[in-house]
Structure 1
C-alpha cells in the first residue's frame, strides 16, 4: 500500500480491485525515473498478490500524463549513451510489466495523454477515456522517437495509423483513439469513470482468474502468427491443460450443476 503523499499510490479494495494512481497533478502526472521505479515495484507486487483480481491504472488531476518530466529529460540529455540505454531499459521494463500483467488491466484516461502515456494506455487490456481526452505521440517534435512504447502502440493501432501519428505528432481526440483501437469506450466526463470501471470489474469478477490469465497468454501466443501446425497444436495443448486444471474442473462442474463457481464472491 502507498500513502497519499506518494507520487504513485496503490490501493486494493476488499473485493480485490487494485487501483494504481499517478499522483503528480502539479506537473500533469509527468513521469521520471523515480516514478517509473515506483510503478515497476507496485506492478510487481500486484502480479504476486493472488488476492488481486484486476488492476485499474489512473491519475489524479486534470491530465492522465504529459509523458516525460522536463527535469528528467534535461538530465537524460547530459547522460552518456550507456546511461541512456539503461534509463530506456527501465521504461521498457515498465511497459512490459504492464502489458504482460497476469491480471486484467483497465486504463482510465482524462485530459492529456502524451508520449509515453500513450504507451501506458496501449499496454492496458481495456481503456476508457473521457470525451475531452487528447492523445499525442509527440516525440518527433523534439527530435526523438516513441521507441520503447512502439511495440505496444503499433500493436494497438496498427502499422498504417502509426505511420501517420508517429510522423505528424498531431494530437487526436478520444473518439479518434477509439476508432484507431487504442480506446475501447468513451464517457462524457472523468466523473463517470468510477461507474464505467465498476461495471467492467463486476463483469471480470464473475470470470475465472486462471481462465482470464490463460486467455491473455493465449492472445499473445496466437497474435500475428501464421496459422500453421505449431500454432494449432499449441492451442490444443492449452485447452487440454486448462480443462483438467482445478479452476477448469470447477467451472465445468458449476455450469453443468447450474450453480455459481467458487471464484464468484457472494
Structure 2
C-alpha cells in the first residue's frame, strides 16, 4: 500500500508503522512524507486500531531530511519551497493529532526531522546506544517545521540546550531533556514498548482519543498560523547565503566557511 512504509496490525489492534528506507537511514523523502500523512489518516480512522507504534527499519530511526529532497528545495523557487515545506509540516501535524496513542520505538539514531518525529509521539522509548541531534544549523538552516513539536515536548529551557548548537547527544541526555521517556538496552526495547502499549488496551478508545485531543488543547497551541510562520522561516533560511554555503559544503564534503 505504501512505498516507503510497512504497517502490520496484530489481533489486539496494535499497529506497527515502520519507516522502511533502511538503506537511506529512513530519511524523509517527498514520497515518505506523503506516505506518512496518508498512513496517519488511515490509522486514525481505523476503528480496529487501538494503538500505533512508530519505528524504523535498520540501524537508524530517522536521519532527517532526504538529501535529494533538500537539493530539490535549494533549486526551487520560494513558492515551491513553501508548498513542499507545508507538506512536511502537515505530515507532522497529522501524526501529532492522530486520535490513537502513538508510541515511539526509537531503535536507532534520530537527527533533525527524526527528532521531530520522536517529538510527535505520545511517549518515546529509545535504545541506550542511540544518538540524537538537531543538526540543521550546521547547514545554515533552522529546525523550523519541527520546532513547535520539539518545544512542546522539551519545553523552552531544555530545548535551548540543543536547539541551536547542532550538538549530538546520547540517549541518557535525551531522557533528561524529555525527548525520551526512558532508554533501554536493545534486547529490552520491545518489552519496554509493550509496557507502554498494554494499558491502553483496557481503556475506552473514544475516551483515549478525546483525552489526547484535550491535552493538545490545554498544552502549547500549534495553530495553522504557527505552522505557517515556521514554514516561512524555513523558506527564508533556504534563500540565505548561509544555507547555500552550508549545503554546498555538505555535498562537496568540505567544511563550510564558518567552521
Match of 1:218 in 2: 214
1:26 and 2:23 are equivalent in the alignment = yes
Give the total of aligned pairs: 221
Unaligned runs of 5+ in 2: 222-259
Paired position in structure 2 for 1:180: 177
Compute the displacement of 1:211 (Å).
1.4
Whole-angstrom CA distance in 1 between matches of 2:220 and 2:114: 25
Report the Cα distance in structure 2 between the residues aligned to 1:223 and 1:26, rounded to whole angstroms: 37
Aligned 1:1-266 pairs, distance under 5 A? 6-189=3-186, 191-224=187-220
Shift of residue 193, structure 1, vs aligned partner: 2.4
Which structure 1 segments of 5+ residues have no match? 226-266
Q: For 1:66 and 1:217, locate their aligned partners in 2 and report how far apart those are by CA, in whole Å.
A: 29
Q: Larger Rg: 1 or 2?
A: 1
Deviations 1:85-111 (A, max 9, x none): 000101100110111110001011122
Q: Secondary structure at the match of 1:40?
A: helix
| Deviation of 1:175 (Å) | 1.0
Q: Is the contact made by 2:152 and 2:220 (CA closer than 8 Å) also made in structure 1?
A: no
- What residue number does 2:247 align with? none
Cα distance in 1 for partners of 2:131, 2:144 equals 20
TM-superposed deviation, 1:204: 1.1
- The aligned residue for residue 244 of structure 1 is none
TM-score, normalization by structure 2 = 0.82
Structure 1 runs (4+) deviating above 4 angstroms are none
- CA drift at 1:161: 2.2
What is the RMSD of the two structures over their aligned residues, measured on CA atoms? 1.3
Shift of 1:201: 1.6
Q: Deviations over 1:178-227 (max 9, x none)?
A: 111111121111x32222222222211011111111111221222259xx
Tell me, yes or no, if the aligned pair for 2:128 and 2:172 is still in contact at 8 Å: yes
For the residues of structure 2 that align with 1:8 and 1:220, how far apart are their CA atoms?
A: 27
Secondary structure of 1:64 counterpart: strand
Tell me how far apart the structure 2 counterparts of residues 193 and 106 of structure 1 sit (CA, whole Å): 12
Deviation at 1:164, TM superposition (A): 2.7
